[in-house]
Structure 1
Amino acid sequence: MNIYEVLEQAIISNDILVKEALTTQCLVYCNQNEVSIEEDFVPKMFTQPSYTDKCIIVAPKDLRTRKDFDTLEGLATLVHSIAHIEYSAIDLALDAVYRYPEMSIAYKIDWLEVASDEIRHFQMLDALLIELGFSYGDFPVHCGLFDAANNTAHNILDRMAIVPRYFEASGLDVSPQIIKKLDNKRKNAQVKKLIDTLHIIYDEEIDHVLKGDKWFKNLCKKEGHKEGTEEEVYFEILERYHLLSKHRPHVNVEARKEAGFSCSEIKKLGAKECT
């Protein structure tokens, strides 16, 4: 089996059931076999995200923001925005395997497991969206995570720093704040279902960030960076991608510590205290 051909099909498909079947196929194969690299294999650069035919893509500044979750549409807008992040994360996890064939089987299994989690997260949110009377693609989306994947395609160390250790870690900061805002509406069965789903996603995303942390540090060592300089390397990458100036109203100290961040890093990201 050539997993890279299968992964390519999974990445470009906009059918979640196809993505799920192909991801499972690759994960089963990698758990049972070593994966050889085809000598002439060159990963493709994808020119558009797989959701292009499903969603209207706009600039982030043009997205509608809703703070009122009392209406079905308001709640659906929130569910849709989170579902889109999870959908995007599926393709990023698959691409992390597809694009860097030189990486070990343990690395491949880690990111295929992440992709499987993201598929399940999307399916839970999509089911809730349908229950609310909407579908994935009913609201505009942005392609920021797709752009992040393309921008880091040339460098796996950058990819591990930017995608799991920056964007996904930022989700750990945001999720508890969303849950807190929804909490006084939990008597609504659909709001309660969303809160329960967000708790599941939050717990599993800590593991995803931890996997990113593990491979980031592994790659730092592999690329010859001195032990103890990983933090310096990380912030140099964030600065190079113009991400250090992004405002963080809340930094989730405990979750980031659990996901591999040092207190020094957490304070540099904006936390006032970390022990």
Structure 2
Amino acid sequence: MNIYNTLEQAILSDNILLKEKLTVQCLEYCNQNEVRVEEEFVPKQFEKPSYASKCHIVDPRELPARKDFDTSEGLATLVHAIAHIEYSAIDLALDAVYRFPEMPMEYKRDWLVVAEDEIRHYKMLEELLVALGYKYGDFPVHCGLFDAAEHTAHSVLERMAIIPRYYEASGLDVNPQIAKKLDNKRKNPLVKQLIDALDIIYNEEIEHVYKGDKWFKYLCQKEGLEESIYFEILERYRLMGKHRPHINVKARKEAGFACEEILKLGAKTCS
């Protein structure tokens, strides 16, 4: 089996069931075999995200504000936004394996497991969207995560710093805040279903960020770099100084962040 051809097919497909089938095939293969890469293999630069065939992509500033969760449409816009993040995360996890073939087998297995988790998260949210009378693609989306993946395609160190250690870690800050806003509406069974989904996603995303942290530190050690290069990378991508009202100290520590880093990111205390 050439897992790189299979991964490419999975990344390009907009069919979630095909993505799932191909991801399972790759993980099963990697659990039983060492993967050898042909010398002529060159990962492709993808021109557009796989969801481009389903979704209307707009500038993030053009996205409608999500405030009214008392209506089916209002709740659906929130579910859609989270589903879009999870869908994007599937392709990012698959691309982490596809784009950096020089990384160890453990790395490949880690990100294929993450891709499986993200598929499951997406399918939970897609089911909820359908229950609300909508489907993925009914609301506009932005392609910020796809762009971030493109910008870090040249460096696995920068990919680990930016995707899991910045964007996914930011999700750990935001997720509990969304659940808190919804809590007084949990008598609505669909709201409760969303809160339950958020809880599952939150706990599993800690592990995803931890995997990103593990491989970021592995690469720093391998390349003889100080782990503080994380902040240099954030500066390079103009991500330092972004307003962070809620730093989730507990979750970030579980995911491998040091208190020194958490404080530098804007937390008032860390113990």
Q: Scaled by the length of structure 2, what TM-score is found? A: 1.00
Corresponding residue for 2:229? Answer: 233
- The superposition leaves residues 127-183 of structure 1 with CA deviations (integer Å, 9 ceiling, x where unpaired) of 000000000000000000000000000000000000000000000000000000000
Match of 2:251 among 239, 246, 255: 255
SS of equivalent to 2:219: helix
- Residues of 2 paired with 1:92 and 1:249: CA distance? 26
**1:66 positional shift:** 1.6
| Alpha-carbon displacement from aligned partner over 1:36-81 (angstroms, at most 9, x marks no partner) | 0111000000010000010000000000012110000000000000
Query: Could you report, residue by residue, the CA deviation over 1:79-123 in whole angstroms, capped at 9, with x for unpaired residues?
Result: 000000000000000000000000111000000000000000000
Secondary structure of the residue aligned to 1:52 is: helix
For the residue of structure 1 that corresponds to 2:257, the secondary structure is coil
1:268 alignment partner in structure 2: 264
Aligned to 2:30: 30
Q: Which residue of 1 aligns with 2:184?
A: 184
Q: What is the Cα deviation at residue 201 of structure 1?
A: 0.2
Q: Name structure 2 gaps, 5 residues minimum.
A: none
**1:10 Cα deviation from its structure 2 partner:** 0.1
- Supply the RMSD in Å over aligned alpha carbons: 0.4
Alignment gaps of 5+ in structure 1: none
Q: Partner letter of residue 216 of structure 1? A: F
Corresponding letter in the other structure for 1:247: H
Q: What one-letter code is carried by the residue in structure 2 that aligns with 1:268?
A: K
Aligned residue for 2:97, secondary structure, equals helix
Distance in 2 separating the partners of 1:217 and 1:183: 37
TM-score, with normalisation over the residues of structure 1?
0.98
Question: Which residue number corresponds to residue 12 of structure 1?
Answer: 12
The separation in 2 between residues aligned to 1:222 and 1:21, in whole angstroms, is 34
Partner of residue 162, structure 2: 162
Partner residue, 1:79: 79
Q: 2:269 corresponds to which letter in structure 1? A: E
Match of 1:244 among 240, 244, 248: 240
Aligned to 2:224: 224
The answer to whether residue 210 in structure 2 is matched with residue 214 in structure 1 is no
* Alpha-carbon separation, structure 2, partners of 1:17 and 1:269: 38
SS in 2 for 1:27: helix
Length, aligned pairs only: 271
- Distance in 2 separating the partners of 1:16 and 1:249: 34
User: How many angstroms apart in 2 are the aligned matches of 1:4 and 1:64?
Assistant: 38
2:60 matched to which residue of 1? 60
For 1:242, give the aligned amino acid.
Answer: R
Cα distance in 2 between the residues matched to 1:198 and 1:207: 15
How many angstroms apart in 1 are the aligned matches of 2:133 and 2:70? 15
Alignment deviations for residues 181-233 of structure 1 (CA, whole Å, 9 cap, x no partner): 000000000000000000000000000000000000000011122xxx20x21
Alignment match, 2:97: 97
Does 1:127 find its partner at 2:127? Answer: yes
